[in-house]
Amino acid sequence: MLAALMVAMVSVTHAASAAGTVPLPLPAPPPPGAPVASTLRDAMLAIERAAATNPTAAQNAAFSYNAAIEEYNAHQYDRARASALTAISQSAAPAPPVAPVAHAPNVAPAFPGPRYYIIPDELPATPANAQRYVALAHNAMANCIALKAAAAEYRGALSALSAKQYRVAMADSRNIVDDCTGH
- Would you say residue 122 lies in a domain? no
- Would you say residue 65 lies in a domain? yes
Decide: helix, strand or coil at residue 158.
helix
Q: How many structural domains does the chain have?
A: 2
* % the chain with pLDDT above 90: 2
- Would you say residue 77 lies in a domain? yes
pTM exceeding the 0.85 threshold for the entire prediction: no
Q: Which domain holds residue 80?
A: 10-91
State the CB neighbour count (10 A cutoff) for residue 72.
Answer: 24
What are φ and ψ of residue 79, in 5° steps? -70, -35
141 and 86 fall within a common domain: no
Under a CB-based contact definition with an 8 Å cutoff, are residues 59 and 24 in contact? Answer: yes
- Would you say residue 158 lies in a domain? yes
Q: Which of 10-24, 70-84, 93-107, 147-161 has the lowest mean pLDDT?
A: 10-24
85 and 32 fall within a common domain: yes
The DSSP secondary-structure symbol of 99 reads P
- Would you say residue 108 lies in a domain? no
Q: List Cβ neighbours of 150 (8 Å cut-off, separation of 6 or more).
A: 137, 140, 141, 144, 176, 179, 180
pLDDT category at 151 given cuts 50, 70, 90 is confident
Which of 64, 91, 118 is a domain's end point? Answer: 91
83 and 132 fall within a common domain: no
**107 versus 81: which is more confidently predicted?**
81
* Rounded CA separation 30/84 (Å): 12
87 and 16 fall within a common domain: yes
* Rounded CA separation 51/16 (Å): 9
Task: State the average pLDDT over residues 137-160.
Answer: 81
- Would you say residue 45 lies in a domain? yes
* Rounded CA separation 58/63 (Å): 9
- Would you say residue 105 lies in a domain? no
- Would you say residue 20 lies in a domain? yes
pLDDT category at 82 given cuts 50, 70, 90 is very high
